[in-house]
Structure 1
Amino acid sequence: MKREVCGWTGRILKVDLSLGSIEDIDTMEYAEGFLGGRGIATRLYWECVAPETGALDPENALILMTGPLGATGAQGASRFEVVGKSPMLLPEGFCYGNLGGYFGPALKQAGYDGVMVTGRAAESCYLLIQDGRAEIRDAAHLWGLGTYAVRDRLKADHGRRAHFVTTGPAGENLVRTAALITDHEGSATGGFGAVLGSKNLKAVVALGSGRPRVADPKALTELNRLTIRLSKRGTLRMPLPKDQMRYVGRASCYQCGLDCLRGAFRTASGKEVVRKCHSMVFYMPWVAMRPGEKIDTAVDATKICNDLGLCTMEMDNVMGWLARAWEAGDLSAEEAGLNIGEIGSRAFFERLTEMITRREGLGDVLAEGLLRTGERLGERATRHFTEDVSGVGLGSSYSPREYVINALLYALEPRQPIAMLHEVSYLIARWLLHRIKPELSPTTAEVFRAAATKFWGNDKAWDMTTYEGKAEAAMRIQDRTYMKDSLVLCDCAWPIMDSFNTPDHVGDPNLEARIFSAVTGLESDEEGLRAYGERNFNLQRAVLLREGWKPLEGDEPASFNFPEPILHDLLNPRLIVPGPTEEPVSVKGNVLDREKYKEMRAEYYELRGWDRETGLQTAETLNRLGLGDVAEALKKRSLVR
């Protein structure tokens, strides 16, 4: 008798827009090995996207995937993953993103764990998924609209329970840095908005009345209560000028009761918005330099980007580059087509974003992304790039010069590995918060050491002044993140490493496995789930190698980390970290030691079961992980030992 499926819906939608075909894939053929979310999406990419495929070619796949915990009531489980070849990377290559809001749960309520779209429609269209059925619909009335107008039209047509993923005019015009946008101000960078636009696909819409089965609802309810209780550990917020903008309450995603960076904020003028993290503050420094300019301009800059489908991190870098190049005389106002002296004003930002979105003048160059702008304009452009200019994401935040573990986390990923960086930085931030105001955080130096030892695998990992124990710590953080991105769990909430509400203020690394077992009925523990993370990480490594990633050469953080000292960090202005004693240690002026990094990397290769000298995976390790077919494919390319 076939076991009842709990957690998953059991179906993935496969759509070919060139053929107009729609069919189902059995989720469970993939779930046993790759769990869900990022894991299954990466496996589908491995099977369906050839290395030579271009990011904007019809053959590229845009894969949206939920996990087994979504829409079950599990806390912090409303997110979904996007995977595909990114036009934002230079060169183009495999990439991924992670979005919150309501679309992921809505997709499962509509009867699907995920959707994979290939091909290119002859005319603009959108995909409607409703109660186990899907159809390709005409989108002539949506094409050209911003994301907020798309939201209003879709909800008018399909009701308030309809949730969506879309892009703005930037994606339609194949701006390489265009973002995917979902409801509740969710977004994903990586150029996936351009991938959506390249397929003449304006939106994917989901609604339904279903709900995935839960194996043990009573146990899940108890675990949800425990999770909410343990999550009380000191809420982190972006620093804001409180006389101009204040936090006024939660802005939770679907079925989530956990504290989060996402919140509702109100400006002094009374404007209320939902905002989170960097996207909330990226224009504020420029606005602050213009006397009389209200903070509302900075708040609205985020809305403008979301509406057009532009990445706020890229826009942050673009504005910095424009200002520096103009001040140095390497870019004239005439060439820019802008009055750069007005940067920080609403009019300047509106004009710049329209130029990029519509590919007008210099905007057409910038629409290719700053890295390609550097290729086109040469040294007069690149000499004004900062450390933050990278392929996808910001290149210097949570710097390896400040937190040594992060050197390996940056080095092994095709984009800024923000969820991994958060595991390190959030724990340190709560340690810093405790030092400033002890009642706001339980994370003393002793708690930091205990939590780091428990979650990162060894008693050397917590000392941020040494390279010892960091290889194992990085490996465990990677495996947990890949597991988390496959369940799919929110990195604002997970893992729960510290808490006001445990006797020793240290969290439980087995909690995710207990929730997984309650939802799916499949017994697991921390190491059982970690095995999924290890497998999925190795699968992504194989994808990268197949697409041209160079081991050793590629397995390094950005080169500036070695010669350039770290001098500032907005979120840790004193640049202090936990050291060998109770007293903090300043890392101001630190550089990454190249020889020590190489030793740490070699240790990491050994821990992974890879070849120490080349960084290539071994057939033995891939076979142990159930990736024998991957090993055979890599063997044909001489990419495995």
Structure 2
Amino acid sequence: MTEQLGGWAGKVLRVNLTTGVIHVEPTSQYHPYIGGMGIGYKVLWDGHVDDILATDEENKLVISAGPLTGSGAICTGRTTITSRSPVIRGDLITDGHFGGHFSPALKFAGYDAVVFEGKAAEPVWLRIEDDEVRLESAAAIWGKGMHDTFAWVAKTMGQSAQVAAIGPAGEHLVAQSTIQTQGGHSAGGHGAVLGSKNLKAIGVIGTGGVGVAAGNEALRQLDDHVLGIIGANNQGVVPNQPQSWAEYSSSGSRWRGGPGVQWGAADEPVDIGETPWDDKAKVGMRTSMAEMYFGREEANKHFRRAGGCHACPIRCFCEMKNPKMKSKYGLPTEHVTNVCLGFLDPWYAMGKPGHSPKRTDIQTVGGYLMDDLGVWSAYGQMSHVFREFHKRDFWREILPVAEFEAIAWQQVNDQDAHFMEFFYTTLAHGNGVLGKFLGCGLYQVVDFWHGPEPVSEADYRLDLGQDLAFMVVLHQKLNALTFALDNDLADLKGQPYSLFKDKACNIFNQSMVGGLHHASETAAQVGALINTTFNRDAQCHSHINLVNCGLPQGMIETIAAELWGEGAFDKVKHYTPINAAKIAFAKWSLVKNVLHDSLTLCNWMFPLVVSPDKNRDYRGDSTIEAQMFTLVTGRQTSEAELDHMAERVLHLHRALTVLQMKQMDQRNHHDVLTPWVYDMDPDKAFGDEGTIKMDRDDMQKSLDLFYAAFGWDVATGAPTRATLERFELGFVADTLEARGLLPA
């Protein structure tokens, strides 16, 4: 008897852009990997080719959804994009993610994923209307910005179309580029992959639905339970400011909605007022993040409404209305919708001015242009580089004289938002040395800067469009500047990877050149270990949703001890030596992250281990994901069983990294932290209050315990045969063993 399952749409599209052949295969072969990220990893494992770049024709890119997406389960509007990445040293496999409404539309059309391979002879776009799928010419939109592309595809297909596309940055094969969908939702690092395939956009109209095995009423009841324990963005469960109903408040919480907060640019302005935890009609007002990026006075003037993703009540996006975008800066609109780095990246580049109309202009104008051109912020890394180099007058030394003198540096000094057009256009088109330098990705800058001499064209992928003699001169200039910069940093002198005085620029994972993000600055060894595992910033919020929940320190420590053991949770900037509980916390965080990206459930909100409900002693419910999976698919699955499936996906990621690197010794070639992590704050020791400094011996012990917890070889950090077979990955072990990449 055939098993009747809900959740999965049942089909995966395979699109060969070289031949134009499109065919369908069953999703069932990917069920052991859940969906989303799991589908992506299995496709890339099966299609692995040695020694290729992200932009080579042989590379594949997978856009995928999980079984929960489109079902109506709360916070399940995510889309996962998996491919090799041009932003990562070695062009290793990475994932990008965006929200919005694209993946639900894909599911409604009957597909769990789309796999792209090959390269079209001319620019094309993929048109999906339920069972009708075809490639069409993109000549009319090649070279267009995101917004014009979205409008053109929607006009061609119909206004209900959901569109994913690249902008000029992706077309020009700029590593720092995005794939994006409507509403400011973008996934970073793979835009150049689609550009290299001459694929401009994917438009989807789906008129079907996603089956829920247990029925919609059962799922509605679970959604109601979720609404009782969900907080604000990043699962902040107490308000940012005191409110009469709240026992606690925390200035770090993203529960920003409360007295004094207004949506002043709405068609009918709204005063938020208090947002009690049990008022479900106000869940969508809790986050109101605009004041975090613009300050309350400016936010109250320009915040039009909150936006977000399919099936999500949190609404973490900010739609801003700034009439000067059109009247003063010549943009076609006075509206922009974005969140987080979409607003902060322009601010970083322009010197980080305080909250003011000037900052509002920079962030709204810059955010619009960055999205329209398809430029990826990479958590602001290259904008920090631009700012710091300008502060030290390095650009005068690095750039050719004519290029330097043509740049309107006075606009930068004046923090004039007019500069944003030049800045992001230069990056998106790879114009000049500046555009190529900032668009290539931080690892290439590091490798070019500190790479071996003599310089040869083969040594670096950083092609500055200059002759070899200029590259040699540039290399020498950068090394000279490194000496000057290190002398400017007394506490970091002589550390070649400590490139920037601004701590936000510091490279945390030396091997992958990943920036400091949710690492030791928030959760000691837990965050540090998480940032050794993936091939780019881990994008993991499982631990952050506890660290930043806003509850008192003692209460968080108690909840963490209940989940992982005594000593699992340290106070930020007051760390204790590694212990078994911290290892359990780190492993749990990664497994939940992979689970969410495979179910395509929002990891910015889940897991819900805490809640705003005092009657529950502020405890949440970590079984919700398993309850959702059971109700939607019809497969009775416990939390432990679902976590086991997610861990299988994580082992596949690790094995694929070993395979792509051709390197079993992950400990010494992948999981390496930068020296400044251990050498910062020379007047303090690891464990002193007030520092995020780590200890080398403690970190090596942490890796020992971490590897053992996952069943990886302690000496190398590579998965063992016993572990791979325990997770039904014996075929992976066979491949690694045949290549000499399996620990003995």
Q: Report if TM-score (shorter chain) is over 0.5.
A: yes
1:368 paired with 2:440, answer: yes
Residue 134 of structure 2: SS of its match in structure 1?
strand
In the other structure, the counterpart of 1:551 is: 666
In the other structure, the counterpart of 1:338 is: 407
In the other structure, the counterpart of 2:462 is: none
In the other structure, the counterpart of 2:83 is: 84
Q: Is the 8 A contact 2:67 2:599 kept in 1?
A: yes
Q: Is 158-167 or 493-502 further displaced after alignment?
A: 493-502
Q: 1:316 aligns with which of 360, 371, 383?
A: 383
In 2 relative to 1, CA 566–380 (structure 1 residues): closer, same or farther, beyond 3 Å? farther
Q: Distance in 2 between matches of 1:130 and 1:600?
A: 50
In 2 relative to 1, CA 287–603 (structure 1 residues): closer, same or farther, beyond 3 Å? closer
In the other structure, the counterpart of 2:309 is: 253
- What RMSD in Å do the two structures reach over aligned CA positions? 2.6
Q: Which amino acid aligns with 1:186?
A: H
Q: Distance in 1 between matches of 2:431 and 2:568?
A: 50
* TM score, norm. by length of structure 2: 0.77
Q: Distance in 2 between matches of 1:103 and 1:392?
A: 30
In the other structure, the counterpart of 2:566 is: 459
In the other structure, the counterpart of 1:445 is: 553
In 2 relative to 1, CA 182–326 (structure 1 residues): closer, same or farther, beyond 3 Å? same
Structure 1: 5+ residue stretches without partners:
432-442, 568-584
Q: 1:489 aligns with which of 577, 601, 608?
A: 601
Q: Distance in 1 between matches of 2:171 and 2:608?
A: 40
Tell me how many residue pairs correspond in the alignment. 609
Q: Distance in 2 between matches of 1:610 and 1:292?
A: 53
Superposition deviation, residue 529 in structure 1: 1.0
* TM score, norm. by length of structure 1: 0.89
In the other structure, the counterpart of 1:509 is: 622
In the other structure, the counterpart of 1:75 is: 74
Superposition deviation, residue 260 in structure 1: 4.6
Deviations 1:519-572 (A, max 9, x none): 0111112111110121011000000001115411121333321112399xxxxx
In 2 relative to 1, CA 184–629 (structure 1 residues): closer, same or farther, beyond 3 Å? same
Superposition deviation, residue 590 in structure 1: 3.8
Q: Which amino acid aligns with 2:311?
A: Q
Superposition deviation, residue 355 in structure 1: 2.1
Superposition deviation, residue 315 in structure 1: 4.3
1:284 paired with 2:350, answer: no
In the other structure, the counterpart of 1:263 is: 318
Q: Which amino acid aligns with 2:342?
A: S
Q: Is the 8 A contact 2:294 2:360 kept in 1?
A: no
Q: 1:244 aligns with which of 273, 298, 316?
A: 298
In 2 relative to 1, CA 78–609 (structure 1 residues): closer, same or farther, beyond 3 Å? same
Superposition deviation, residue 239 in structure 1: 4.8
1:612 paired with 2:733, answer: no
Q: Is the 8 A contact 1:65 1:114 kept in 2?
A: yes
Superposition deviation, residue 64 in structure 1: 0.3
1:295 paired with 2:364, answer: no
Superposition deviation, residue 586 in structure 1: 7.6
Q: Is the 8 A contact 1:287 1:345 kept in 2?
A: no
In the other structure, the counterpart of 1:145 is: 144
Residue 398 of structure 2: SS of its match in structure 1?
coil
Q: Which amino acid aligns with 1:544?
A: T
In the other structure, the counterpart of 1:130 is: 129
Residue 145 of structure 1: SS of its match in structure 2?
coil
In the other structure, the counterpart of 1:571 is: none
In the other structure, the counterpart of 1:201 is: 199
In 2 relative to 1, CA 334–396 (structure 1 residues): closer, same or farther, beyond 3 Å? farther
Superposition deviation, residue 314 in structure 1: 4.5
Residue 430 of structure 1: SS of its match in structure 2?
coil
Q: Which amino acid aligns with 1:481?
A: N
In the other structure, the counterpart of 1:414 is: 535
In 2 relative to 1, CA 140–359 (structure 1 residues): closer, same or farther, beyond 3 Å? same
1:562 paired with 2:678, answer: yes
Superposition deviation, residue 329 in structure 1: 5.4
In 2 relative to 1, CA 590–71 (structure 1 residues): closer, same or farther, beyond 3 Å? closer
In the other structure, the counterpart of 2:517 is: 397
Q: Is the 8 A contact 1:189 1:392 kept in 2?
A: no
Q: Is the 8 A contact 2:87 2:442 kept in 1?
A: no
Deviations 1:294-329 (A, max 9, x none): 512321201101111101235423422441452585
In 2 relative to 1, CA 635–339 (structure 1 residues): closer, same or farther, beyond 3 Å? same
Residue 115 of structure 2: SS of its match in structure 1?
strand
In the other structure, the counterpart of 2:329 is: none
Deviations 1:332-387 (A, max 9, x none): 66443423342232232211222222232212343323432441543644736336
Q: Distance in 2 between matches of 1:566 and 1:427?
A: 30
Written as runs of structure 1 = structure 2, the 5 A alignment for 1:100-115 is: 100-115=99-114
In the other structure, the counterpart of 1:359 is: 430
Structure 2: 5+ residue stretches without partners:
232-236, 239-252, 255-288, 326-333, 449-470, 486-498
Q: Distance in 2 between matches of 1:268 and 1:352?
A: 21
Deviations 1:122-153 (A, max 9, x none): 11100011112310111111111000000111
1:5 paired with 2:24, answer: no
Q: Is the 8 A contact 1:38 1:486 kept in 2?
A: yes
In 2 relative to 1, CA 508–564 (structure 1 residues): closer, same or farther, beyond 3 Å? same
In 2 relative to 1, CA 508–80 (structure 1 residues): closer, same or farther, beyond 3 Å? same
Q: Distance in 1 between matches of 2:735 and 2:443?
A: 32
Superposition deviation, residue 587 in structure 1: 4.0
Q: Distance in 2 between matches of 1:453 and 1:341?
A: 54
Q: Distance in 2 between matches of 1:48 and 1:632?
A: 16
Q: Is the 8 A contact 2:336 2:367 kept in 1?
A: no
Q: Is the 8 A contact 2:80 2:96 kept in 1?
A: yes
Q: Is the 8 A contact 1:447 1:506 kept in 2?
A: no
In the other structure, the counterpart of 2:647 is: 534
Q: Which amino acid aligns with 2:516?
A: S
Q: Is the 8 A contact 1:566 1:588 kept in 2?
A: no
Q: Distance in 2 between matches of 1:331 and 1:23?
A: 50
